[in-house]
Amino acid sequence: MTAPSTINRSDRHQGLGLMLIIVGLMIGGLLSVLFVSHGQASPFIGVMLAFLSAAGVFFLFAYAFRLMHFGIAPAANDLTQAIADSSPDGLLISGAGGQIVYANEAYLALCQGSTQGGVTPVERLFSGPPEVSEAIYRLAQAARQGRRAVEEIRLAQPIGGVTGSGVAWYRLRVQPIPRGKGQGEALWTVSDITRDRERQENVFQELQQAIDYLDHAPAGFLSIDPSGSIAYMNATLASGLDHDLAQIGAGGLKLADVVAGDASPLITHLNGAPGDVVTDILDVDLKKRGGETVPVRLLHRVAFAHDGEPGASRTLVLDRGPKGAQDEAQRAAEVRFARLFNTTPFALAIVDVGGRILSANASFLRLFGGALRPEGAERRTISSIVADAGRAAIDRAIAAAAEGRATSTPIDATLAGKEARSARFFVTPTGSAAGSEGEAAIVYAI
């Protein structure tokens, strides 16, 4: 005999109480007639027959208009029943006493005709290590208390008759069924999530491999948040600077801990318009934990949010020491100049013909604060950081330097802003031909 594809016992006991009451009333009425005289019983029998006749006519019309039926009541919603029967997840409805009320085809496939007429309760279907038993116990307690609960369990072998398939993962849910009759029924859902877990593990393994590639790259890499904390440093750079990777992240290591001198503002003072991604090249000295300095070149990239706030940087660190330079004279000269430019105590800035600031050292940033902050898409100019009275002299000196004419006359000017400050400027040519976007002059400020 073919086993049923689903089990539905929800209508087994419906209407039994009402039927017992009606039968009891009829038997009581017949017994009462036996204890009275014939004359007294005649009116009572007439009333009973009239009542039964009226009830018979009423039920005939009710049956004709399909207001009543004989046998087990049909399903209230055939569509809902079909959805539950064909669900790929195993569905089981249990009563307050643990009896099985309903089980769909997917759940029966998991049971494989174990016990209880082909269906096994969830508590007995899933058994195994202590962690599995504890999860099932928590679900059973939630079902008794009328609460929702979800658990994910891991089995060494899948259930349902499948063998040799390896580890299996299942997500079990239990929730009360509010039917308003106080029956305490609970719906159990069993979902096979083995493939989802395998995909998650594969993604995690790929992520681990990517992190391993980055950690052991031939160049250093670090990420700096806007506050100056180092959010990430790869193993190559951490090993070169003698730092412990466990100290990095969550504010454990600051930029000032690894940058020599006063070059930190050069790295954190990168500005851009909202939505921009700005990349800068910086030659600075990093310091090891013991204080020894290492010349490096930073390829420093920062993305700005739509509100203009900078995000964490993506910074590539290239070794510029004797081993990294490989005796390239020109590169070594560039490194020496960059180190001198960035570490000198004098404020220095390189400008183009129009006086726009192309680059500046840390001393310049400390002296003039937001001088490199862009206004729209344009860089600020040297003349914009001084008061109106000194701008003409600054512009004439830059124009002369762009033509190759040097002047040793200093320019004393009052700085723009609310505070009463002044500075002395010296302007010299760079010694190279200057175009509209090229380097035209070097400005010294004291």
For residue 377, pLDDT over 50 is answered with no
Q: Return the closest-CA partner of residue 83 out of 14, 6, 149.
A: 6
| Class in CATH terms, 78-197 | alpha beta
pLDDT band at 69 (very low <50, low <70, confident <90, very high): low
Higher pLDDT, 362 or 334: 362
Contact 254, 280 (CB under 8 A): no
Q: Between 446 and 247, name the one with better pLDDT.
A: 446
The reported pLDDT for the residue numbered 187 is: 93
> Is it the case that residue 217 has pLDDT exceeding 50?
yes
Q: Please give the Cα distance from 346 to 284 (Å, whole number).
A: 16
Amino acid at site 100? I
Domain ranges of the chain: 8-64, 78-197, 216-342, 344-446
Backbone angles phi, psi at 362, to 5 degrees: -65, -35
302 or 158, which is more confident: 302
| pLDDT band at residue 123 using 50, 70 and 90 as cut-offs | confident
Check residue 434 and give its pLDDT.
Answer: 54
For every residue of 291-305, DSSP letters joined together read S-EEEEEEEEEEEB-
pLDDT tens string 46-60? 777 787 788 888 878
> Which of 331 and 365 is assigned the larger pLDDT?
365
Asked if residues 145 and 137 have their Cβ atoms less than 8 Å apart, the reply is: no
pLDDT at residue 171, rounded to an integer? 94
CA distance 83 to 78: 9
Instruction: Give per-residue pLDDT as tens, 174-189.
Output: 999 887 655 678 999 9
- What mean pLDDT is predicted for residues 163-182? 79
Cα separation values, 282 from 94, 147, 319, 400, 441, Å: 69, 60, 12, 29, 20
CA distance 358 to 372: 9
Average pLDDT over residues 224-240: 88
Strands of 422-429's sheet, edge to edge? 357-360, 347-351, 441-445, 422-429, 411-414
pLDDT at residue 423, rounded to an integer: 86
- Token pair 């009116």 is at which residue? 43
Between 99 and 324, where is the model more confident?
Answer: 99
CA-nearest of 385, 342, 377 to 360 is 342
C-alpha to C-alpha distance for 81 and 90, rounded to whole angstroms: 14
Q: What is the DSSP letter of 130?
A: H
Angle 19-22-27 (CA atoms, 0-180°, nearest 5)? 125
Tokens 């993604």, residue?
203
Residues in the chain: 446
The pLDDT of residue 91 is: 92
CATH node for 344-446: 3.30.450.20
Rg (CA), the chain: 43
Rounded Cα–Cα distance for residues 119 and 34 (Å): 51
CB 193 within 8 A of CB 171: yes
**Model confidence at 70: pLDDT above 70:** no
What residues does 91 pair with on adjacent strands? 189
pLDDT at 320 over 60: yes
Of the candidates 247, 254, 252, which has an alpha carbon nearest to the alpha carbon of residue 229? 254
Fold agreement (78-197, 216-342) = yes
Rounded Cα distance, 369 and 68, in Å: 89
Instruction: Calculate mean pLDDT across residues 315-343.
Output: 71
The most confident of 47-61, 192-206, 402-416, 429-443, by mean pLDDT = 192-206
As given in the structure block, the two tokens for residue 145 are 């208390």
133 phi/psi in degrees, rounded to 5: -60, -40
d(CA 163, CA 41): 75
Beta bridge partners of 443: 349, 427
| Average pLDDT of the residues in 122-128 | 83
Residue 156 pLDDT grade (very low, low, confident, very high; cuts 50, 70, 90) = confident
**Least confident piece of the model among 76-85, 128-137, 407-416:** 76-85
| pLDDT given for residue 12 in this prediction | 54
**Proportion of the chain above pLDDT 70, given as a percent:** 80
Work out the mean pLDDT of the chain and round it to a whole number. Answer: 80
Query: What's the pTM value of the predicted model, to 2 decimals?
Result: 0.51
d(CA 319, CA 338): 14
Using the predicted structure, report yes or no on whether residue 376 has a pLDDT greater than 50: no
Reading the block at residue 159, the tokens are 């259930």
Burial class of residue 149 (count of CB atoms within 10 Å of its CB; 0-12, 13-18, 19+): middle
pLDDT digits 0-9 by tens, 261-283? 777 888 887 778 888 898 888 88
Residue 324: the pLDDT is: 47
The answer, yes or no, to whether residue 1 has pLDDT greater than 80, is no
CATH superfamily entry for domain 216-342: PAS domain (3.30.450.20)
pLDDT of residue 368: 79
* Cα gap 22→386, rounded to integer Å: 105
Residue at token pair 């899933």:
126
Confidence of residue 71 (pLDDT cuts 50, 70, 90): low
Q: How far is CA 423 from CA 360, 365, 406, in A?
A: 16, 14, 20
Helix ranges (H only) for 173-256 are 194-215, 235-240
pLDDT of residue 190: 93
User: Residue 124: what pLDDT?
Assistant: 86
